């Protein structure tokens, strides 16, 4: 992502709180949850994962609820000229996993 030099010189601080819990569920299963809160922008992110392990592979089911793609533009960049803000938005990935709400299922082979 391209960020103008004058923005890089400014001091930016983020205040985030995260809570994570991981619990084994029987011999082969585990559940992990993560909740994050961005205090400055008042954004909540949620992540829940179930995992089942076997000898040579594992199954993962992941649910997430995060801010939308447009919400990732930092509030401190708003005073910038419109052309610069538009460039920053264009440089955000279009399909990055983690934007918005979603579900994933993975089969991981361990060799």
- The pLDDT score that the predictor gives to residue 15 is 80
**pLDDT beyond 70 at 33:** yes
pLDDT at 32: 96
At residue 8, the pLDDT reads: 54
pLDDT exceeds 60 at position 75: no
Give all strands (DSSP E) within the chain, no chain letters.
Answer: 16-25, 29-38, 43-53, 57-65, 101-109
More confident: 100 or 62: 62
Number of independent structural domains in the chain: 1
Domain that holds residue 69: 15-109
Rg (CA), the chain: 18
Could you tell me the two tokens for 64? 């997430």
In a domain, residue 5? The reply is no
Of 10-14, 19-23, 105-109, the least confident: 10-14
Residue 50 lies in a domain: yes
107 exposure class (CB count in 10 Å sphere: 0-12, 13-18, 19+): exposed
Answer yes or no: are the C-beta atoms of 34 and 18 closer than 8 Å.
Answer: yes
């Amino acid at each position: 992502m391209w960020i103008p030099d004058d923005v890089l010189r400014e001091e930016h601080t983020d205040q985030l709180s995260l809570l994570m819990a991981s619990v084994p569920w029987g011999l082969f299963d585990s559940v992990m949850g993560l909740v994050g809160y961005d205090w400055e922008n008042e954004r909540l992110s949620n992540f829940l994962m179930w995992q089942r392990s076997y000898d040579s592979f594992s199954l993962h089911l992941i649910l997430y609820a995060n801010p939308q793609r447009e919400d990732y533009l930092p509030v401190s960049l708003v005073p910038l000229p419109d052309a610069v803000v538009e460039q920053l938005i264009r440089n955000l990935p279009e399909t990055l996993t983690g934007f918005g709400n979603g579900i994933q299922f993975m089969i991981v082979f361990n060799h």
